[in-house]
Structure 1
Amino acid sequence: PVGYLTLTAEGFIAEINLTGSTLLGVDRWNLLRRSFAVYVIEQDRERWKQHLSGVKRGDRQGSVELTLQRGNGSLLEAQINCARPAGNPPVLRLTLTDISERKQALEMLKISDLALKAISQGVLITDSDGFILSTNDAFLSITGYRPTEVLGHICKFSQGPLTDPLMVESLRLAVEDATGFATTLLNYRKDGSTFWNEMTISPVHNEQGCLTHFIAIVRDISERKQAEDELSESETRLREFSKFLQQAHEEDRSHFARELHDDLGQNLTALRFNFDLLTNSLASSQPAIVSRLAAIDQIIRGTVDAVRRICEDLRPGILDDLGLESALASHVERFARQSGVACDLVLDRDDYGLQEPLSTAIFRIVQEALTNVARHAQASHAMVALQDFGDTLLLSITDNGCGLPAAKGDRKHHFGLLGMRERVNMLGG
């Protein structure tokens, strides 16, 4: 709707239609013979005065945008067109158009443009077909392109030989289906250098639900990606080194167990044999001494058992001689006997055919887990189960004790749990 006014040469309102009075928020009869300048805000009055004078002289045509104050004090953004028709007495014809929404939209557009420029991430705005309509300085800085090289193009110029084609296809389908999409792509700058682009694409629909635009947020995460790759490489090297240390440690245990068994074990066996001969020779002639020697015999027997137990802990010979299955059965039986905790072993195969270092890792994990049960679980029953699912082995150790809170399992000083986790990680489990 347009308001129509007639002003006298002095700027007083002579005529005004209903739309004009509605726009000004004043009854028509109260507007007649009043100066139009009264409704122009003070900041715009001088500009209105100059424009009006120019129209009267005939050297100024066209429109002027003014802020008017309505009768209720609210403001009206208006576009005013002035014309001076021929005739006497001289009058001015005005059209009054409400441009408040347009001005507000322009102001919001200006704010949006400033915000777009201020965003540190790259921003692309495209039409529904993917042609770039707008971008910001951050995107140009990331890619090295000029605005004229970007606007009106589809964003394929950032792809290159090392860009993942599967991700590109997923991106194309997301645009085709008008769905949101987020991915990380290796993209190319104008100078041919690469950067890792963490991209998020969002569709924009109008009030009728029709797709109108896409907004893409582009982040250069090359430094973060490099740090992640370096960390991953460092973890891989550390895991390989840990694997080497585990193997070296296992070899040392085996070597020490053999040395202990072969040297100290044989010496103790010889000592016990000679001790038995001595005891037998004195049995009839020196019974008092023989009774005292019985205590020494118990010490020797206890030492032999201790050496055998230490050798088993260091490296059970049964693991090398008869395999994992027999070693687990022996250890579970020994654990139950020494700890007083009933323990079952459940194996779904007689022979798993496992090679080193897998068999040793499984045995050591069971060994450590049952040690934890004995020390901390306050349990009366435990179970060790090994299941073969073809390409996967599932080892589970359970008990009916007090349990371990999840938060404690991640504490750094729980070296037993950490060691079990590290053994599994080294095997890719």
Structure 2
Amino acid sequence: MNNLSVSWDGLGLRGRLLAMIVLLLVLSGVVSHSVQLWREADDYRADLSHDMNHTMDLLEISLMEHAITGDFAAIQRALTLRAQYSLIAEIQWRDPSGVVVKAQAIKPETAAYPPWFHRLFGFNPSEQLRGVVVGERNYGVIAATFSSVPLENRLWREATSQLWQSSLGLALLMLVVYLLLGRWLKPLKSITAMGHHLLAGDYRGGIAGSSRFVPEIRDMARILDQAATEVGRLVLSLSEQRRAIDNAVVVIESDLKGIISYVNDKFCEVSGYSREEVIGHDHRFLNSGLHLREFFDGLWEDLRRGEVWHGEVCNRTKSGGLFWLLTTITPILGPDGKPLKYISVRVDITQRKLVEGVMSQQAQIINQTHDAVFSTDSKGTLVSWNRGAELLFGHDGDGAIGEPVQFIALPGEQERFYRQVFLGLIRSSGGALETRLAKKSGEPFDAYFSLSLLKDKEGMEIGVACYVTDISARKRMEHKLRESEMRLAKAQQMARLGNWEWEIATGEIQWSDEVYRIFGVDRDTPVTFDLFLSRVHPEDRELVEKSLTAALAREVNYNVDVRLFPAGGEVRFIHAEAEVEFDGGGKALRMFGTVQDITERKEIEQEIRASREQLRELSSHLQAAREEEKATIAREIHDELGGNLTALKMDIFWLARKLPPEMEAELEKTRSMADLVDTSVHAMRRIVTELRPTVLDDLGLLAAMCWQASEFTKRYGIQCKVVMHGEEIAVEGAYRIALFRIFQESLTNAARYSKADLVLVDVWREHDKIAMDIVDNGIGLPEDKAMDPTSHGLRGMMERARTLGGTLEVGSAPGEGVAISVRIPFPSRSQPMRSFQQEMRGGQHD
């Protein structure tokens, strides 16, 4: 029950209405179907009763004749025939003499309904008895037991069929009701959502589609919408007022003892304290120490009398600094006219106080500065002239004041200076520029001329302040620097080499013009690390980041070759190098380096690699063609010459048999000819085997290597052992030929140069590669012999391995023999075959 209660509480209005409707419809359906079933059951009972009476009548008629004659066999047949009727379970004939004849249903129908259905709607027919009486004589009794299972099964099928139909109709009806409830109750969701918006501070109001709601919900939505609009307007007005006050002034509330109870955001901004640090504390912790005790005594005396106090107060910030507030403290009076609390409204005048102090200092600084500072009235007449102006221009103050400002211009340029420079800057509300002015002696010089407008409290222009400094030396340096930069830029353009500098702390990056050109970036574009990285090829960005990280960590120098994606251009290659400057604590300060466009070099390298690849492919093709040609020649020698030699030997034998014994010289000649033919056959077989060993094609790689090792031992007297680990590696075509030729060439080198007496060969499958190691115990090779351009044998073996995507490495040292290691990717279609060494009963062949 508790779970049911929780489930019901968790349902919404839509779910509860739907559940109640479903419950009512199910109950009404159950009652309706039960009443209908009971009615149909009554009909079936009447039909069963009628069928039982009719069946007994038929039995009485069919058995009467046989009962009179006492033909029990006929009675048995009649009963058996009638027992086939589906409603009969068992029939008995009871003769007065005590003879009983029975017949039962052959295949009685089984119940397809549950037990409770039989208890509610079952028929339970009683045993039927009928006596066979002719005249007044009783010939026997017919007893029949009837089964209601067929009729109850039929009633069960009808009930289940009606139930499924009703369930389907109920499901469709529930779907329609569910959709209608969703449509009718949807406005409540909108109203609820609007309530949540109001709680969240969203007072915009407005419920979409409220005109389509039912009248009661429509009125509710309209009232809620109006309330939301009004609340929003009031909240907006209050928030605007509060924001205006908070942005403008500091507000503090305190009790009669000076304990702070409220401060606004402006106070926290100015003082640096948070509300939690201030509320509940006395004002005294803000005391700057600049005011005397009498100052605060007078303040509290006015407040206790209920008077408003005005004045300037200096307080101390959380960080220890000072801030000035123009303060108005208002007592909030109670009904008895006595203060209840104090509200202080204060305006931050710290900047004004600072300006007043700064202005005093500036007056002293201006008079002591070595640069020229002077002012004019609104008409351009000089009214002040500092010591720096006297030194720069050579005019003393008395001689300058009262003169027009253009008297400092070059001779003949006074009018232009006044109209274009002086008035032009005034029209621009002040500014600065570089120009040429003249000293009292007439000597011209480059000057930085700055002008600012002077205004009164009402904002009216009352004059102009001017600042002039001599920049002649800087101009000369700039000219030399420009010339140097031009020469450097020209040299960088010719070398396609640019320089850059990165201030790590600020992130500022500077590029030379050539770097802009290499990266395809406009000269006015701000340079950032993201811009640099965006131009780097996506596949090279990780390399750049890792290299930079390593360089900044002092692990390695920054030295990379990467690809670029210049804007609107083709992919280019650059070589970048850089050094990092660190401070005394090991912190990276800046990074400076160079970038060189090496696209042409990379293209040349690519062409060289392509050329080498073409040569390698050509070499592979020539090797394949040579192997194919060898195989063809071997086959033709074997087929043509071998056949001819065999026929010739047979003819010699035939001729020897035909010669008489007394022709000994001729017979000796035939024997000599036969021996010569045998020698030729052996030579032919040797040549064919060297061209293309038939054992390589017929028995596989291991058998061919074992045969070659045996031949090698016989020919040179050097022991050779071949070991294949695991099952034999089944390879075909180029792989088998390449491995065999590498093995052959290794044995040839060992016989010619190594002076070895033992060669060991190991072959195995190493994951997805074919591995072969050939080691001898000879005198070894000199250090530079393995890569000697004249070592055609070793280079040929390397090319064979490289053609198949593999590698061949030669390891040797004088006096330590030679070790050749071959690794070739395993061909994907090759599968292991039965090992030849298994057939030879062992893994080693000498």
1:304 aligns with 2:681: yes
SS of corresponding position for 2:662: coil
Which position in structure 2 is the counterpart of 1:25? Answer: none
Q: Which shifted more, 203-212 or 140-149?
A: 140-149
Q: Could you tell me whether the CA contact under 8 Å between 1:130 and 1:154 is conserved in 2? A: no
Amino acid paired to 2:606? D
SS of corresponding position for 1:407: coil
CA distance in 1, matches of 2:506, 2:678: 86
Which residue, out of 538, 546, 549, partners 1:170? 546
1:384 aligns with 2:747: no
Matches within 5 A, 1:243-282: 243-282=620-659
CA distance in 2, matches of 1:414, 1:58: 89
Which position in structure 2 is the counterpart of 1:159? Answer: 534
Q: Could you tell me whether the CA contact under 8 Å between 2:520 and 2:569 is conserved in 1? A: no
CA distance in 2, matches of 1:56, 1:364: 94
- TM-superposed CA distance for 1:172, in Å, is 6.5
Q: Could you tell me whether the CA contact under 8 Å between 1:124 and 1:132 is conserved in 2? A: no
After superposition, the C-alpha distances for 1:330-358 in whole angstroms (9 at most, x for unaligned) are 11101111122221112213411112211
CA distance in 1, matches of 2:396, 2:653: 134
SS of corresponding position for 1:202: strand
Q: Say if 1:311 and 1:220 are closer, same or farther in 2 by CA, change over 3 A.
A: same
Q: Say if 1:56 and 1:252 are closer, same or farther in 2 by CA, change over 3 A.
A: closer
CA distance in 1, matches of 2:515, 2:591: 15
Q: Say if 1:283 and 1:399 are closer, same or farther in 2 by CA, change over 3 A.
A: farther
1:420 aligns with 2:797: yes
Q: Could you tell me whether the CA contact under 8 Å between 1:199 and 1:216 is conserved in 2? A: yes
1 or 2 for the larger relative contact order (CA 8 Å, sep ≥6)?
A: 1
Q: Larger Cα Rg: Structure 1 or Structure 2?
A: 2
- TM-superposed CA distance for 1:184, in Å, is 2.3
Q: Could you tell me whether the CA contact under 8 Å between 1:332 and 1:345 is conserved in 2? A: yes
Which position in structure 2 is the counterpart of 1:124? Answer: 500
Q: Say if 1:316 and 1:60 are closer, same or farther in 2 by CA, change over 3 A.
A: farther
CA distance in 2, matches of 1:181, 1:56: 51
Which position in structure 2 is the counterpart of 1:235? Answer: 612
Which position in structure 1 is the counterpart of 2:597? Answer: 220
- TM-superposed CA distance for 1:316, in Å, is 0.8
After superposition, the C-alpha distances for 1:259-279 in whole angstroms (9 at most, x for unaligned) are 100110011111112222323
SS of corresponding position for 1:184: strand
CA distance in 2, matches of 1:130, 1:306: 85
- TM-superposed CA distance for 1:233, in Å, is 2.1
- TM-superposed CA distance for 1:403, in Å, is 2.4
Q: Say if 1:154 and 1:246 are closer, same or farther in 2 by CA, change over 3 A.
A: same
Q: Could you tell me whether the CA contact under 8 Å between 1:126 and 1:213 is conserved in 2? A: yes
CA distance in 1, matches of 2:548, 2:612: 35
SS of corresponding position for 2:721: strand
Which residue, out of 705, 710, 719, partners 1:333? 710
Q: Could you tell me whether the CA contact under 8 Å between 2:580 and 2:590 is conserved in 1? A: yes
Q: Which shifted more, 153-162 or 263-272?
A: 153-162
Provide the aligned C-alpha RMSD in A. 3.3
- TM-superposed CA distance for 1:162, in Å, is 4.3
Amino acid paired to 2:502? T
Sequence identity of aligned pairs in percent? 29
- TM-superposed CA distance for 1:318, in Å, is 0.9
Which position in structure 1 is the counterpart of 2:513? Answer: 137
What TM-score does the superposition give when structure 1 sets the normalisation length? 0.68
Q: What are the ranges of 5 or more consecutive residues in structure 2 without an aligned counterpart?
A: 1-389, 398-476, 807-846
CA distance in 1, matches of 2:603, 2:675: 65
Q: Could you tell me whether the CA contact under 8 Å between 1:116 and 1:136 is conserved in 2? A: no
Which position in structure 1 is the counterpart of 2:18? Answer: none
Q: Could you tell me whether the CA contact under 8 Å between 1:158 and 1:188 is conserved in 2? A: no
Q: What are the ranges of 5 or more consecutive residues in structure 1 without an aligned counterpart?
A: 1-53, 62-105
Number of positions where the alignment pairs a residue of Structure 1 with one of Structure 2? 330
Which residue, out of 337, 344, 348, partners 2:725? 348
CA distance in 2, matches of 1:243, 1:201: 43
CA distance in 1, matches of 2:582, 2:646: 89
Q: Could you tell me whether the CA contact under 8 Å between 1:163 and 1:185 is conserved in 2? A: no
Q: Which shifted more, 165-174 or 197-206?
A: 165-174
Q: Could you tell me whether the CA contact under 8 Å between 1:201 and 1:217 is conserved in 2? A: yes
- TM-superposed CA distance for 1:363, in Å, is 0.6
CA distance in 1, matches of 2:619, 2:673: 45
Amino acid paired to 2:748? T
CA distance in 2, matches of 1:385, 1:131: 60
Q: Could you tell me whether the CA contact under 8 Å between 1:379 and 1:402 is conserved in 2? A: yes
Q: Could you tell me whether the CA contact under 8 Å between 2:652 and 2:673 is conserved in 1? A: no
1:357 aligns with 2:734: yes
After superposition, the C-alpha distances for 1:87-127 in whole angstroms (9 at most, x for unaligned) are xxxxxxxxxxxxxxxxxxx9xxx8xx869756652211111
Amino acid paired to 2:514? A
CA distance in 2, matches of 1:145, 1:56: 44
Q: Could you tell me whether the CA contact under 8 Å between 1:204 and 1:213 is conserved in 2? A: yes
- TM-superposed CA distance for 1:240, in Å, is 2.1
Which position in structure 1 is the counterpart of 2:670? Answer: 293
SS of corresponding position for 1:397: strand
Which position in structure 2 is the counterpart of 1:199? Answer: 576
